Structure 1
Amino acid sequence: MSISIRFLPDNVKIDAEAGEPMLQVAERAGVFIPTGCLMGTCHACEVEIEDGATICACISAVPAGHEELTINLYSDPTW
């Protein structure tokens, strides 16, 4: 089952499958998510999903149980 992913603030939309790596989905959509350690430790890839929770995109996959999911990207000048 396909899940519609919307990346904010640019309102980029793409379809993804549950379990697909978040960074892969962003790359396919042409959305840049900065990374550092690629292990979830440095939090460079931290994004906010629609319920307000923050996740590290480098170690997260598209969660099941959604028809649509909004992901808000942070702008951190440090990265």
Structure 2
Amino acid sequence: MGVQIRFLPDDVTVEAEPGEAFLTVAERAGVMIPTGCLMGSCHACEVEIEGGPTLCACISSVPSGAEQLTVNLFVDPTW
């Protein structure tokens, strides 16, 4: 069962599978999430799940049990 992922502020929606990496989903949607270390320690890829946690997209994946998620992308001009 797929999960609809909506990326803001771009307002792009794409279907993803539970367990799929957020960076992979964003790339497929044509949405750029800045990255740095790719290990979750620099927080360059931090995103906010609407109504949920803030997480590092490089080490996080689409959770199971949700039909849709809205991902808010932060813009940090230093990255």
Q: Give the alignment's TM-score, normalised by structure 1.
A: 0.97
The DSSP-based 3-state class of the residue aligned with 2:51 is: coil
What is the identity, as a one-letter code, of the residue corresponding to 1:70?
T
- Structure 1 residue 52: deviation in Å? 4.2
Percent identity over the alignment is: 71
RMSD of equivalent CA atoms: 0.6
Aligned partner of 1:46 in structure 2 is 46
1:68 is aligned to 2:68: yes
Aligned residue pair count: 79
1:15 is aligned to 2:12: no
Rounded to whole Å, the distance in 2 between the matches of 1:51 and 1:66 is: 12
Q: Give the alignment's TM-score, normalised by structure 2.
A: 0.97
Runs of 5+ consecutive residues of structure 2 not aligned to the other structure: none
Rounded to whole Å, the distance in 2 between the matches of 1:61 and 1:39 is: 13
Runs of 5+ consecutive residues of structure 1 not aligned to the other structure: none
- Structure 1 residue 10: deviation in Å? 1.3
- The C-alpha deviation readout for 1:8-36, integer Å capped at 9, x for no partner, is 00110000000001100000000000000
- Over 6 Å off, 4+ runs: none
